[in-house]
Structure 1
Amino acid sequence: MKDQELIADILRGSRSSQEVLVRRHYKLVYSFLYRMAGDKELALDLTQEAFIKILNNLGKYKGSGEFRSWCLTIASNHAKDYFKSKAHQNNTHTYELHEYEAKTDKSVSSIFEKNEKRKEIKEALNVLPDFQREAILLKYYNDMKISEIARVTNATESTVKSRLKQGLGKLKLYLNRSEMDERNKNGS
């Protein structure tokens, strides 16, 4: 069943279609919010709250654009609202990248190298302004097109391209700098 059909069923009161729709898009919304929040428990809470908003506002979805983009727009706005809130001001959270589990057997050294690289990327992403980090996460972790990112972030396509270019440039500089610092530290 397509999203549009599920939405029509939900608007007529179908609980089972609601469950199907949430299950279908849960991983997408959760992984995006986890990358934004960097905290599993917080991401779970934000995801649950985002889906409440999504379901409460289904009647406002006009069917233009992909439903996943619409979901991520609501999730993004909800996360931004949370981070501006007093609840967030009382907590300190760092942004983390999603930890991928190794699918194949790897040597211990390659696992450590991969974890170290993730840590460096996570630190580099933390340096970026929120709007650049958000654009990079949507593009490279959620595989979204520029036009979709523009809709989700309420920005123009040229602004999204600029955010991506500048953010990637900053990431590259940061990662190169940390690599040089490491070499200098080790005397290489």
Structure 2
Amino acid sequence: MRTRKNELEILYRQYAKSLYFFLLKMSGSKELAEDLTQETFVRATISLSEYNREDVRAWLFKVARNVYIDEWRKRQRRKKIPFAEIFTKENEILSPYGLPEEEALKMEEREDLHTFLKFLPEQYRTTLYLREFESFSYKEIAEALDLTESQVKVTIHRARKKLLQLAKENNWREERE
């Protein structure tokens, strides 16, 4: 017989890592992402009664997003900027098997992409992250963000368009060719 504690433990093992990376992308801080991941599971435990048997992954990401937004609002009230360290790149050891120039270019492109992403509104950033990095379906994103599937598609389209506009304004495509 499965108890609630066992079910929560299974959910934690299954989704904690992807929630952590989602919150890391949103907050830009490892420490904050760890705290927010823990808070996500605390709130998920508390709000299990509100869970309507929708897709569990979408529901947990919805809880995580709400935890992030609450934290962001708290920081706004304290006049701190939560995005001060967003998308900083860690030092990475390059593979001895690849060409260092190619690896450097790839790293630079990722840094540029992260830089452009931080200029997108939160809604655009979130939908793009869930779609591109977490491979959420439109339906799952709609559940996680309390939107219709049509709204999700429009938001993703606009986010991609804005991202492309930012890249063009900064001559990103021309420099890479």
Same fold (TM over 0.5): yes
State how far apart, in whole Å, the 2-side matches of 1:17 and 1:92 are: 33
8 A contact 1:34–1:98 mirrored in 2: no
- For 1:120, the equivalent position in structure 2 comes to 112
Which protein has the larger Cα radius of gyration, Structure 1 or Structure 2? Answer: 1
Q: How many residues align?
A: 173
Deviates more, 1:104-113 or 1:30-39: 104-113
| 1:110 alignment partner in structure 2 | 102
Does residue 59 in structure 1 map to residue 57 in structure 2?
no
- Of residues 122, 126, 133, the one that matches 1:130 is 122
TM-score by length of 2: 0.84
Deviation, structure 1 residue 179: 2.9
**1:95 correspondence with 2:100:** no
Pair 1:102–1:151, CA change in 2 (3 A): farther
Percent of residue pairs identical:
27
**1:1-188 → structure 2 map (5 Å cutoff):** 9-10=3-4, 14=5, 16-63=6-53, 65-86=54-75, 89-93=79-83, 94-96=85-87, 105-179=97-171, 183=175
Amino acid across the alignment from 1:58: L
Gaps of 5+ in 1: none
Letter in 2 for 1:174: L
Query: Using a 3 Å threshold, how does the CA distance of structure 1 residues 61 and 54 change in structure 2: closer, same or farther?
Result: same
Deviation at 1:58, TM superposition (A): 2.0
Give the alignment's TM-score, normalised by structure 1. 0.80
Alignment check: 8 A CA contact 1:35 1:97 kept: no
SS at structure 1 position matched to 2:34: helix
CA shift, 1:180, in A, is: 5.5
Determine helix, strand or coil for the equivalent of 1:96: coil
Secondary structure at 2:103's aligned position in 1?
helix
Letter in structure 2 aligned against 1:86? R
5+ residue gaps, structure 2, are: none
